[in-house]
Structure 1
Amino acid sequence: MFQATPPRAIAFFDVDNTLMRGASLYHLGVAAWRCGLITRRDITSFGWKQARFLAVGENRDHLSTVLLRALEVAVGFEQAELIRLSEEIFDTKLTRRLWPETVAVARRHLETGHEVWLLTASVQEVADVIAARLGFTGAVGTVLEADDGIFTGRLTAGVCHGALKSDAARARAEASGVDLADCWAYSDSHNDIPLLELVGHPVVVNPDAALARYAAARDWPVMRMKRASIRRAARANRVHTSKKR
Structure 2
Amino acid sequence: MVAFFDVDNTLLRGASIYHLGRGARRRGMLRLRDLVRFGWHQARFVAVGENGRHLVGLRERALQLINGRSEQELEEIAEEVYDDFIARRLWPETVELAREHLRKGHEVWLITATPLVVARVIAARLGLTGALGTRLESVDGLYTGALAGPMLHGEQKVTAATTLAGFLDSNLADCWAYSDSRNDIPLLELVGNRVVVNPDALLARHARTHGWSTLRLRPSSIRRAQRLVRREARPARGKKKRRT
TM-score, normalisation: structure 1: 0.88
Q: Which amino acid aligns with 2:101?
A: H
Higher mean alpha-carbon deviation, 182-191 vs 34-43, is at 34-43
Instruction: Report Cα offsets for 1:11-33 as digits up to 9, x if no partner.
Output: 00000000011110001011111
Aligned-residue offset at 1:82: 0.6
2:34 corresponds to:
42
Match of 1:133 in 2: 125
Offset, 1:76: 1.1
Residue 100 of structure 2: aligned partner = 108
1:32 matched to 2:24? The reply is: yes
Return 71-80 or 102-111, whichever deviates more: 71-80
Counterpart of 1:164 (choices 146, 156, 162) is: 156
Shift of residue 148, structure 1, vs aligned partner: 1.8
Partner of 2:213: 221
1:211 is the counterpart of 2:203: yes
TM-fit CA distance, 1:217: 0.3
Q: 2:58 & 2:126 partners in 1: Cα distance?
A: 26
Counterpart position of 2:229: none
Listed as ranges, the gaps of 5+ residues in structure 2 are: 220-244
Q: In the alignment, what sits opposite 2:82?
A: 90
The aligned amino acid for 2:20 is L
Say how many residue pairs are matched: 220
Structure 2 residue 2 is matched with structure 1 residue 15: no
Aligned to 2:68: 76
Give the CA deviation at 1:73: 2.1
Say which of 92, 105, 114 aligns to 1:122. 114
Q: Does 1:184 align with 2:193?
A: no
Structure 1 residue 143, shift from structure 2 partner: 0.5
- Which region of structure 1 is more displaced relative to structure 2, 32-41 or 78-87? 32-41
Post-superposition offset of 1:226: 5.6
Structure-1 separation of matches of 2:104 and 2:35 = 41
Q: How far off its partner does 1:37 sit?
A: 1.2
Matched position secondary structure for 2:114: strand
Q: In the TM superposition, what whole-angstrom CA distance separates every residue of 1:145-167 from its partner, at most 9, and x where no partner exists?
A: 11121101111111100000111
What whole-Å deviation, never above 9, does each CA across 1:16-60 have from its counterpart, x for those lacking one? 000011110001011111211121111111111111111111122
Amino acid at match of 2:144: T
Separation in structure 1 between the aligned mates of residue 122 and residue 52 of structure 2, nearest angstrom: 22
Task: For structure 1, list consecutive stretches of 5 or more residues without a partner in the other structure.
Answer: 1-8, 228-245
Identity of aligned residues (%): 57
**What's the offset of the Cα at 1:191?**
0.3
SS across alignment from 1:108: helix
Q: For residues 157-204 of structure 1, what are the alpha-carbon distances to aligned partners after superposition, in whole Å with 9 as ceiling and x for unaligned? A: 111000001111111100100000000000000000000000000110
Aligned partners of 1:73 and 1:149: how far apart in 2?
Answer: 16
- 95-104 or 66-75, larger mean C-alpha shift: 66-75
For residue 138 of structure 2, give the secondary structure of its aligned residue in structure 1: strand
User: How far, CA to CA, are the matches of 2:174 and 2:155 in structure 1?
Assistant: 20
Could you say what secondary structure the match of 2:57 adopts? helix
CA contact (8 A) 2:116 2:133 kept: yes
SS in structure 2 at match of 1:194: helix
What TM-score, normalized by structure 2, do the two folds share? 0.88
Q: Where do 4+ consecutive residues of structure 1 move more than 4 Å? A: none
2:135 equivalent among 137, 143, 147:
143
